[in-house]
Amino acid sequence: MTDHASQLIAFPKTKSFFVGVDSDGCAFDSMEPKHKACFYPMTVQHWELAGVAKYVRDVWDFVNLYGRTRGCNRFHALLHTFDWLADWPDAVERGYESPKVDSLRQWVAEETKLGNPALEVKVAAMNDAALQQALRWSRAINEQVASIVHDVPPFPLVADCLQRLADAADVMVVSATPSEALEREWAEHDIARYAGMICGQEMGRKAEHLRYGASGKYDADKVLMIGDAPGDMKAARDNGFLFFPVNPGCEVESWRRFHDEAAERFFAGQYAGDYEQALIDDFLACLPKYPPWEG
């Protein structure tokens, strides 16, 4: 058994309910500054894409903020970006050529802990240019985030909701963000005390956080994942758990709904079914499958 699985399995059950909470874009209004001020510029710089920068910006934003892949791991996002650019005739006409990253694709397909520590191990074992470049790119992003993204508070009512949740449920941060950034941001705003464990990309995929942290410990109808991305919903569904969506662009209204009605329904056993499905339908309507340049 992997170390991260053992750590998650050891997560202590102290209450009858379990709630997983995503961080970027869900608890914190941090997606826009991180992607537009950190991820996008470093992608242009480290993959030498200045000649098609305007297309990279549109694709990166769609992949990470406005489309169905919102919230995916950064290495998945990078490959999605390369693929969308290759399919956009305007970008190709301006000289875009897909980088040779077959080794990165293979690593992303095989690795479950998609973060710098796992990539560092792989780079040390292989003299591979694409993996080395991906590591430089990812490290540069972390440096930019640490330098730029400060004093970004949680959305209104998040702290109140977390306090209420922690009174009745075991709470875990379930995120694809590096753990260092999560721990810094949650401590900076004094909400880390509500979470029994903070799990980032180094602890595996979100579905694994939930599987090892909650499955077999809690009744399935007493486990809820709160997230702002389809990947959060899939992680919950893959484990047979409930999902509460924080709608992109309507985050404040979503947290108000959770505060005013959804939390009570969850703890009362009245969340699953038509109520949850209506929330999910609204959520998916916020995130198109195809980008605007596809027509």
The CATH number of residue 18's host domain is 3.40.50.1000
Judgement on whether residues 57 and 129 belong to the same structural domain of the protein? yes
Domain that holds residue 144: 31-148
Regarding whether 174 and 136 lie in a shared domain, the answer is no
Do 224 and 244 touch, CB atoms closer than 8 A?
Answer: yes
Confidence category of residue 241, pLDDT binned at 50, 70, 90 = very high
What's the CA gap between 71 and 120, in Å, rounded? 23
Where residue 172 falls (left for φ over 0; alpha for ψ -120 to 50; beta otherwise) is beta
> 136 and 167: one domain?
no
Q: What is the CA radius of gyration of the chain?
A: 19
Confidence of residue 93 (pLDDT cuts 50, 70, 90): very high
**201 has pLDDT over 90:** no
Q: What is the mean pLDDT of residues 94-120?
A: 95
Quick check: 266 pLDDT over 70?
A: yes
Q: How far apart are CA 32 and CA 24, in angstroms?
A: 9
Domain check: are 8 and 54 in the same one?
A: no
pLDDT of residue 2: 59
Does some domain include residue 242? yes
What does pTM read for this prediction?
A: 0.88
pLDDT at 295 over 90: no
Section 150-167 average pLDDT: 95
How many domains is the chain built from? 2
Enter the DSSP assignment of 294.
G
Residue with tokens 């705003």: 189
CA dihedral 84, 122, 201, 53 (to 10 degrees): -30
Query: Is the pLDDT reported for residue 108 higher than 90?
Result: yes
Q: Is residue 68 part of a domain?
A: yes
Residue 232: pLDDT band with limits 50, 70, 90: very high
Q: Which residue bears the tokens 């005013």?
A: 260
> Which helix (H) or strand (E) segment is 92 a member of?
helix 89-93
Q: Is there a domain that residue 162 lies in?
A: yes
Would you state the pLDDT for residue 209? 97
Residues 26 and 40 in one domain: no
* Confidence (pLDDT) at 224: 98
Tell whether the model's pLDDT for residue 1 goes beyond 70.
Answer: no
The pair of three-digit structure tokens given for residue 154, joined into one six-digit string: 């949680």
Residues 87 and 53 in one domain: yes
Question: What pLDDT band is residue 287 in, cutting at 50, 70 and 90?
Answer: very high
121 and 46 within one domain: yes
Instruction: Note whether 50 and 183 are same-domain residues.
Output: no
**Which tokens in the block code for residue 75?**
């290495």
In a domain, 295, yes or no: no
Locate the DSSP E strands across 75-128: none
Instruction: Judge whether residue 138 has pLDDT over 90.
Output: yes
Side chain identity, residue 126:
M
Residue 81 inside a domain? The answer is yes
| Listed residue (200, 288, 208) closest to 249, CA to CA | 288
